[in-house]
Chain A
Amino acid sequence: MKTTIKSFLAVIGLIGLVSCGGAEQGSESSTASGESTAETNTPLGQASVVDETSDPNILQVAIGSADHSTLVAAVQAAQIEHVLVNAGPLTVFAPVNAAFDALPAGTVDNLLKPENKATLAGILTGHAAPGSFDVEGLKKEARKGRKLYMASGTYLTVTVEGEDVFVEGAKVIGTIQTSNGIINVVDKVILPG
C-alpha cells in the first residue's frame, strides 16, 4: 500500500516535470489542466522515504504526538517537512497545542493561510537549532553563558530556575531523543522578538 502511495506521489511529481511548455516558459506557467505547478508539485524530499527500521525522526515523532497536531499542521502548511527529516543534527523546541491556543485569537488561522507561508516558515525555523541539545546540554549552555543559534538566524537565551529550563521564556516540559536530533517539548510559542 505504501509503495502505491509512493509511486502515486512520484507520478504527480513527474506530471509536474513533463507538463507542456513549463520548461520553455518558466516554472510559473500552469499545466494544460489549469492547475498551477506549485500546487500539484509538492515534493516532500526525504520526508517521503519509507523506513520502519530506524529510530523515528523528529517529524515522525511529532506526527505521532496528539499534543502537537497544531505544530504538525503548521509544518505541513509551511512545507518544511524535509527539514525535520534531514541528517541534521537538529534540536526542535516543539510547542504543545495549548501554546498555540494561547496566542491571540486568529493568529494561527492567519499564519496557516498560503500567503503567509514564508512568515510561518520563519517562525517555525526559529524553533529549530542546529546541533543536539538535551536538557543537560541546555543547562550547560546556560551555565557557560552560550546562546542558542537558531536556524532562522536568531539567538535564544537559555535560563535555569531550580530544576526547570527555559528557552526565551518557554519552559521545557519534556525531551525526546530522535534519530536525527532532539525534541524539547515547550509550553509557549517562541515569537521573534
Chain B
Amino acid sequence: MKKTILSITAIATLAIGLIGCGGAKKDGSGAMSGGNAEKVYVAPGEHDEFYGFISGGFSGQLAVYGLPSGRLFKVIPVFSQDPEKAYGYNEETKPMLNTSYGFVPWDDAHHPDISQTNGELDGRWCFINGNNTPRIARIDLKTFETTEIIEIPNSAGNHSSSFVTENTEYVVAGTRFSVPVPQRDMPIDEYKGNFKGALSFISVDQEDGGMDLSFQILMPGFDYDLAHPGRGASHGWFFFTTYNSEEAHTLMEVNASQNDKDFIAAINWKKAEEYIKEGKFKTMPANYAHNVYDEHTHTATSTMKKEVRALDPAECPGLVYFLPTPKSPHGCDVDPSGEYIVGNGKLSANLTIHSFTKMLEAIKNEKFAGEAYGIPVLNFEDVLAGTVVQPGLGPLHTEFDDKGNAYTTFFISSEVVKWKLGTWEVLDRKPTYYSVGHLMIPAGNSRKPSGKYLVAMNKITKDRYLPTGPELCQSAQLYDISGDKMELLLDFPTIGEPHYAAGCSADLIKEQQTKIYKLEENKHAWVAKNEKEAKVTRNGKEVHIQMTMIRSHFAPDNIEGIKVGDKVYFHVTNLEQDFDVPHGFAMIGANTSELLIMPGQTESFVWEPKQPGVWPMYCTDFCSALHQEMQGYVRVSPAGSNIELSWSLDGE
C-alpha cells in the first residue's frame, strides 16, 4: 500500500514536471527517447527496487549495488584485506583470514547465494565461496559484514559452491580440482583412480547462521564445476556438473575434452543424512579453520577443527547417480519448479535439459547404462527432458523468470538467449558487450524469480568505457526482461571480476538494517564505555591504551611515558550512539591500516614506535564540524627512560 502511494505521487510528480513546461522535450534523444534512461533513473534521495550482490571475483570481495540504477553502495570485504575498513588489519578481524595454511589475505570470490526459506529468498544471510584456499563465508545482511568463514578440507579450487538448499539446511561446496585425500606425496601421473573430489555439506544453524561442516561425499577424481539444489519435488537432491571425467592431469584443455559426455552428479542428500545417522561414515583426520566474528565482543576467533565425516558413494547405494551430459558441462541450473536440470555443455552445440521425474523413474526401474567407481550411470535418453537446438556458442549459465522462460549466456557468441521451458524454442537473443559469463535475475535461484531485470556479467570490456590503460574494469549490463523481447538498459562498471551475483527485492533487507551497535552491549575485552573508563596500562613492554572517541575529541588525547621498543595497543571505542557517525583512527608510522569504528564499536591496532619524539594521531573520518580538531599526541621517550606513564584530556 505504501508503495502504491509512493509510486502514484512519483508518477504525478513526473507528470507535472514533464507536461508542465514545454521546454524539456527538446533534449529528448537517443536512449532518452526510447525511455531507457527513465527506466534506470532513480531520482536523488529515492531508493532502488533491488539489491544486487555482485562478487568481486579475484578481488575477493562482494560489492553491493542498487538495481536498476547500477549505483555501487558498499564493497563488503570477505576474503581480502581492506585497509579502508581495517578488515584483516585490525586485531579484531585478523582471525577471519586464518586458514590451515596460516594467514591468507586474499581469495577468489565466486558465487554469492542468499539464504532461503521454503524455496524463497529470506534476506538473512549471503554466502560466498573462496576458490583458491577453499573457504565459505557468511555475510550477515543486517550489518553487511562478513561474520563467519569456514575452510573446506580435502578440497581445491572450491568452485561448485556456495549454493543453499531450500530451507538453508545446508550451504554446499564442491571441489573443482580433485586431489589426493588425504593429501600425500605421490606421483602426479598416478592421478587416475587415486585422486578424489570432495562434495561438502555445511549445515547452517537456523538461529544464528552458524556453519558446521556436517559431512563430505568423496567422489571420483573428476572436476566438479557448478551446482544447484533441487526445489519443490526435487528438494532433498543436489546437482553438480562434472568435467574431466577422463581424469586427466595435464594439458586439460585437450585431455579433459575427449569424452563425448561427462556427467551431472545427482546427490540425494536426504539419503546422506540417513547414512550419517546410521553411522556409515568414516571419520577422517583433517585440519581446517573455522572463524567466527562476534557482534558483541566485536572480535573474531579462529578455531582449528580436526576431523570430518566422509561418505564413500560406492558403499552407500542410492546416494549418487550420474546423468550423462554433453560436453564438459559448466553451469548446472534448476528451474523454479524443480523439474528441469539444465546442463550448459560449454563445448556442446545444444543445451541439455534433464527431467527430475524421468530420473526418479529410471532409478526406480534400476535401468542403468553402467557404473563408474560403483556409482550407477543412467541412460542419457532415459533422463532427457529436451534439447535447445543450436542456441549459440559456448553456453555457460541459465537463469529463469516468473513466466516459464529461461535465459542462457553464451560466452563465445557473446549473447543472452531467451528460450521456453517445455517447448525448448528460442524466443529472443541479445548481444552482450563482451563475452558474458554468469547472468543474474533477482531471486533467479528460487521458486519465485522476479521477471523484471537480468544482469549480464561480462569478462571483456574493450571499448565500452573511457580507457584506463592496459587494465580495464569489467562490467555488468542490465536488461529489461519484462516484455517479449529483452532490452539492454544500462552498462555499469564493477570491482574485480563480476563473477556471479545474487539479487533480491530491497524490501526484504532494508528495514532490518543495524544502524548502531549498542554501547551497553559492547563486550570487547578492552572497551572503555565512557571517558572515565579510558586509561593506559603497562605490562612489561606491552602498553594498552583504552581510548574513547566522541565528537570531536579522543580521551585521552595526550599520552606520555611510552618508550622506544614498546608494543602499543590502541583499543579505541566509538561512544557515539547516532546512525552514520563513524570515527576513524590513525597513528603516524603505524605499520597497518587506519581503524574505521562504527558507533558503539571497539577496534584495535598495534603501534611499535621506533624513535623518540612527540607523535600525532587523528580521526580519519570527517565526523563533525570540529573533525579537524580531533587529534592528539603521544610522547615517546628513549628505551630505558624514567618518564612515568600518564594520560590526560584537557590537562585533567
Chain A residues at the B interface, C-beta cutoff of 8 Å: 3-4, 7-8, 10-11, 14-15, 18-21, 32, 51, 53-55, 57, 86-89, 130-132, 140, 179-181
Is residue B552 contacting chain A, with contact meaning CB distance below 8 A? yes
- Give 28 CB contacts A-B under 8 Å: A3-B2, A4-B5, A7-B5, A7-B9, A8-B9, A10-B45, A11-B9, A11-B13, A15-B16, A18-B13, A18-B16, A18-B17, A18-B20, A18-B21, A20-B20, A20-B21, A53-B515, A53-B579, A54-B515, A55-B577, A55-B578, A86-B625, A87-B624, A88-B625, A89-B624, A131-B626, A132-B552, A140-B652
Contacts of A19 in B (CB 8 A): 20
- Complex CA distance for A88 and B626, rounded to whole angstroms: 8
* With known contacts A53-B579, A179-B576, A88–B650 Cβ distance under 8 A: no
Contact B579 A87, beta carbon cutoff 8 Å: no
Cβ distance A182 to chain B, nearest Cβ, rounded Å: 11
Is residue B76 contacting chain A, with contact meaning CB distance below 8 A? no
Is residue B12 contacting chain A, with contact meaning CB distance below 8 A? yes
Contact B6 A7, beta carbon cutoff 8 Å: yes
Q: Which of these, B578, B623, B624, contacts A54 with CB under 8 Å? A: B578
Excluding A54-B516, A88-B624, 16 further A-B contacts by CB distance (< 8 Å) are: A7-B5, A11-B10, A11-B13, A14-B13, A19-B20, A21-B21, A54-B577, A54-B599, A88-B625, A89-B550, A89-B551, A132-B551, A140-B650, A140-B652, A179-B581, A180-B578
Contact A87 B20, beta carbon cutoff 8 Å: no
Cβ distance B530 to chain A, nearest Cβ, rounded Å: 11
Contact A130 B578, beta carbon cutoff 8 Å: no
Contact B515 A51, beta carbon cutoff 8 Å: yes
Q: Which of B533-565 contact A (CB under 8 A)?
A: 550-552
**Chain B interface residue count, Cβ-Cβ cutoff 8 angstroms:** 31
Contacts of B626 in A (CB 8 A): 89, 130-131
Contacts of A20 in B (CB 8 A): 20-21
Contacts of A21 in B (CB 8 A): 21
Cβ distance B423 to chain A, nearest Cβ, rounded Å: 43
Cβ distance B38 to chain A, nearest Cβ, rounded Å: 15
Nearest B residue to A22, CB-CB: B21
Contacts of B43 in A (CB 8 A): 14
Nearest B residue to A49, CB-CB: B579
Q: Which of these, A32, A51, A55, A180, contacts B551 with CB under 8 Å? A: A180
* With known contacts A11-B9, A19-B20, A51-B515, A89–B579 Cβ distance under 8 A: no
Contacts of B45 in A (CB 8 A): 10
Cβ distance A139 to chain B, nearest Cβ, rounded Å: 11
Q: Which of these, A7, A53, A140, contacts B516 with CB under 8 Å? A: A53
Nearest A residue to B579, CB-CB: A54
- Complex CA distance for A55 and B599, rounded to whole angstroms: 11
- Complex CA distance for A130 and B599, rounded to whole angstroms: 21
Nearest A residue to B623, CB-CB: A87
Q: Which of A19, A54, A87, A181 gathers the greatest number of chain B CB atoms within 10 Å?
A: A87
Q: Which of B46, B579, B624 gathers the greatest number of chain A CB atoms within 10 Å?
A: B624
Nearest A residue to B518, CB-CB: A53
Q: Which of these, B2, B5, B516, B551, contacts A87 with CB under 8 Å? A: B551
- Count of A-B residue pairs with CB < 8 Å: 78
Contacts of B5 in A (CB 8 A): 4, 7
Contacts of A88 in B (CB 8 A): 551, 624-625
Contact B625 A11, beta carbon cutoff 8 Å: no
- Complex CA distance for A100 and B21, rounded to whole angstroms: 47
Cβ distance B23 to chain A, nearest Cβ, rounded Å: 8
- Complex CA distance for A179 and B515, rounded to whole angstroms: 13
Q: Which of B575-604 contact A (CB under 8 A)?
A: 576-579, 581, 599
Q: Which of B16-36 contact A (CB under 8 A)?
A: 16-17, 20-21
Cβ distance B604 to chain A, nearest Cβ, rounded Å: 25
Contacts of B551 in A (CB 8 A): 87-89, 132, 180-181
Cβ distance B51 to chain A, nearest Cβ, rounded Å: 18
- Complex CA distance for A51 and B652, rounded to whole angstroms: 36
- Complex CA distance for A131 and B550, rounded to whole angstroms: 10
- Complex CA distance for A11 and B515, rounded to whole angstroms: 26
Cβ distance A32 to chain B, nearest Cβ, rounded Å: 7
Nearest B residue to A31, CB-CB: B20
Contacts of A32 in B (CB 8 A): 20
Contacts of B10 in A (CB 8 A): 7, 11
Cβ distance B521 to chain A, nearest Cβ, rounded Å: 13
- Complex CA distance for A132 and B21, rounded to whole angstroms: 49
Cβ distance A56 to chain B, nearest Cβ, rounded Å: 9
* With known contacts A15-B13, A51-B515, A131-B626, A89–B552 Cβ distance under 8 A: yes
Cβ distance A77 to chain B, nearest Cβ, rounded Å: 24
Contact B623 A3, beta carbon cutoff 8 Å: no
Contact A132 B550, beta carbon cutoff 8 Å: yes
Contacts of B625 in A (CB 8 A): 86-89, 130
Cβ distance B375 to chain A, nearest Cβ, rounded Å: 53
- Complex CA distance for A179 and B21, rounded to whole angstroms: 44
Contacts of A132 in B (CB 8 A): 550-552
Contacts of B13 in A (CB 8 A): 11, 14-15, 18
Q: Which of these, A8, A54, A131, contacts B552 with CB under 8 Å? A: A131
- Complex CA distance for A130 and B6, rounded to whole angstroms: 38
- Complex CA distance for A179 and B518, rounded to whole angstroms: 13
Cβ distance B222 to chain A, nearest Cβ, rounded Å: 50
- Complex CA distance for A130 and B630, rounded to whole angstroms: 13
Contacts of A89 in B (CB 8 A): 550-552, 624-626
* With known contacts A4-B2, A21-B21, A51-B515, A57–B16 Cβ distance under 8 A: no
Nearest A residue to B513, CB-CB: A53
Nearest B residue to A90, CB-CB: B625
4 smallest CB-CB distances across A and B, nearest first, come from: A18-B17, A179-B578, A89-B551, A53-B515
- Complex CA distance for A130 and B628, rounded to whole angstroms: 13
Cβ distance A135 to chain B, nearest Cβ, rounded Å: 14
Q: Which of B170-224 contact A (CB under 8 A)?
A: none
- Complex CA distance for A132 and B20, rounded to whole angstroms: 49
Contact A14 B17, beta carbon cutoff 8 Å: yes
Cβ distance B242 to chain A, nearest Cβ, rounded Å: 49
Cβ distance A58 to chain B, nearest Cβ, rounded Å: 11
Contact A51 B579, beta carbon cutoff 8 Å: yes
- Complex CA distance for A158 and B600, rounded to whole angstroms: 32
- Complex CA distance for A148 and B652, rounded to whole angstroms: 19
Contacts of B17 in A (CB 8 A): 14, 18
Contacts of B652 in A (CB 8 A): 140
Nearest B residue to A46, CB-CB: B580
Contacts of A87 in B (CB 8 A): 551, 581, 623-625
Nearest A residue to B652, CB-CB: A140
Cβ distance B281 to chain A, nearest Cβ, rounded Å: 46
Contacts of A7 in B (CB 8 A): 5-6, 9-10
Contacts of B12 in A (CB 8 A): 11
Contacts of B21 in A (CB 8 A): 18, 20-21
- Complex CA distance for A20 and B18, rounded to whole angstroms: 10
